[in-house]
């Protein structure tokens, strides 16, 4: 696995901007193992129904409200309105998002391909405090 040792900042100018016909504007930030989208969905618009076979898609609402609809295993449509700071983990569900308000809704999407391994402990514990008086880079030795 390639280590990313340097901090990198991506600006909005580094993203790929797409204005979709369904009323969604997206800035795509693409990285080798994941991507992040900054989305704005216009008032009174709905995205097409879709699903993802391999990727995990997780959304966090930044502003506004979003009506989330998905089809359950019994083929019934479920829906819930989410708002600022709510998180949606889509999984492989057939789903759509609708902005049925008079304001733009903004949300961030994290997309990656999971490998089936539980990494919660690694993620929770992978922070190493650095003493700037005794600076060394342990990752350089790998």
Helices (H) and strands (E) counted in the chain, each on its own, are: 1, 10
Q: For residue range 31-88, what is the model confidence (pLDDT) as tens digits? A: 999 999 999 999 999 999 999 999 999 999 999 999 999 999 899 999 999 999 999 9
Strands (E), 31-113: 34-41, 45-46, 56-63, 65-71, 77-83, 87-89, 94-99, 105-112
32 token code pair = 């080798």
**Per CATH, which fold does 12-117 belong to?**
Jelly Rolls (2.60.120)
Q: For residue range 88-129, what is the model confidence (pLDDT) as tens digits? A: 999 889 999 999 999 999 999 999 998 889 998 998 998 888
- The pLDDT of residue 139 is 57
- The pLDDT of residue 1 is 45
- Nearest Cα neighbor of 92 from 59, 60, 52 is 52
With 0.85 as the threshold, say if the pTM is over it. no
CB 75 within 8 A of CB 27: no
Extents of the domains making up the chain: 12-117
Contacts of 25 (CB under 8 A, 6+ apart): 17, 18, 19, 39, 40, 41, 42
- The pLDDT of residue 123 is 87
SS3 5: coil
């Amino acid at each position: 696995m390639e280590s990313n040792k340097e901090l990198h900042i991506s600006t909005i100018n580094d993203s790929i901007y797409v204005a979709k016909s369904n009323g969604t504007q997206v800035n795509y930030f693409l990285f080798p193992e994941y991507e992040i989208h900054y989305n704005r969905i216009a008032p009174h618009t709905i995205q097409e129904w879709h699903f993802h076979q391999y990727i995990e898609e997780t959304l966090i609402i930044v502003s506004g409200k979003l009506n989330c609809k998905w089809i359950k295993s019994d083929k019934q449509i479920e829906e819930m309105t989410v708002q600022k700071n709510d998180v949606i983990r889509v999984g492989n569900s057939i789903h759509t998002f609708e902005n049925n308000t008079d304001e733009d809704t903004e949300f961030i999407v994290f997309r990656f391909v999971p490998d089936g391994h539980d990494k919660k402990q690694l993620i929770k514990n992978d922070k190493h405090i650095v003493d700037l008086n005794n600076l060394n880079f342990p990752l350089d030795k790998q």
